[in-house]
Amino acid sequence: MTVLVDTSTRVVVQGITGHQGTVHTRQMKLFGTAVAAGVTPGKGGTEVDGVPVFDSVREAVDATRANASCIFVPAPFAKDALIESVDAGIRLAVVVTEHIPFHDMLVMYHYARSKGTRIIGPNCPGIAAPGKAKVGIIPNVVFHPGRVGVISRSGTLTYEIVNGIKEHGLGQSTCIGLGGDPVVGTSFVDALPLFQGDPETDLLVMVGEIGGTAEEEAAEYIHGHVTKPVVAYIAGRSAPPGKRMGHAGAIITRGRGTAESKVAALEKAGAQVARFPYEVPEMVAAIAARQARR
């Protein structure tokens, strides 16, 4: 068992004939993912790296039994692409696209939930279960199969910390990049119970950042429901109040969403909180060593 993706995951890449779609289709295949189909309207009947291209998601699903989507469609068309995949029966949609309008994402979020489809993203690196499947753009080389679950709002910090875990001789069960927009399809609170219930995950890493209250809400959930050890890191400690830092969701307003409030909430919930990214793999290794001695 892994979280959301496994060897049965069959991916349709929406926007496969664009540069990013083509490059990352190849990388997903190299990771071991079953990339079953691609979709670009008007390009049906062609191939990309051996993957058949269809004109619609419905055609792709009917022909290949694809059950997950990776969306590289440009922002103005991402809402329609997501709705098309949901209507075709896709139940996991990873939206890599950034700069999706706020109101478009609100429509996407509620429409997908009403139909039973889980969105990861937008503006995210995706999800990966080493040795099983990857849907998204996370670099293949940072992973190694193991028992550490990772949930993160930051793409580049995800890569750094996951690679650090590997360099400490450990590996990951599943890694989910949630995305950094104000509205995302899967939150920390959505992901935490999946890892808590996963027998292949022994401990969790949570990478957050300033802005919003997602980490405080996660801390409340951890306090009441998570029994596995949690190591956390909050980015943006030095950001001045009111200044947006990279991600659209990383903005502090009216004293809420500060690094201090998030750290305090997580520590109160029993998580170990690192001050610097390089400390996270060290903390994880120490916990894993204690678990191994039991």
Kindly report, residue by residue over 217-276, the tens digit of the pLDDT. Answer: 999 999 999 999 999 999 987 766 665 555 555 555 555 578 899 999 999 999 999 999
Q: Look at the chain and count its residues.
A: 294
| Annotation marks residue 110 as catalytic | no
Active-site position among 24, 144, 223, 247: 247
| Strand pairing category for 172-177 and 126-129 | antiparallel
The pLDDT, as a whole number, for residue 258 is: 87
State which amino acid sits at residue 71.
I
Secondary structure element (H or E) that encloses residue 151, with its range: strand 145-152
Q: Judge if pTM exceeds 0.75.
A: yes
Q: What tokens does 206 get?
A: 């949570």
Q: Start-end ranges of CATH 3.40.50.261 in the chain? A: 138-293
CATH code for the part of the protein at 10-120: 3.40.50.720
Interatomic CA distance for residues 97 and 15, integer angstroms: 10
How many CA atoms, within 13 angstroms, populate the side-chain half-sphere of residue 208? 33
In this structure, the number of other CB atoms found within 10 A of the CB of residue 278 comes to: 12
Model confidence pLDDT, tens digit, residues 142-192: 999 999 999 999 889 999 999 999 999 999 999 999 998 999 999 999 999
Interatomic CA distance for residues 158 and 130, integer angstroms: 14
Q: In what order do the strands lie in the sheet with 145-152?
A: 133-136, 126-129, 172-177, 145-152, 203-209, 230-235, 272-274
Q: Is the pLDDT of residue 1 over 90?
A: no
Looking at domain 138-293, which of 3.40.50.2300, 3.40.50.261, 3.40.190.10, 3.30.70.370 is its CATH number?
3.40.50.261
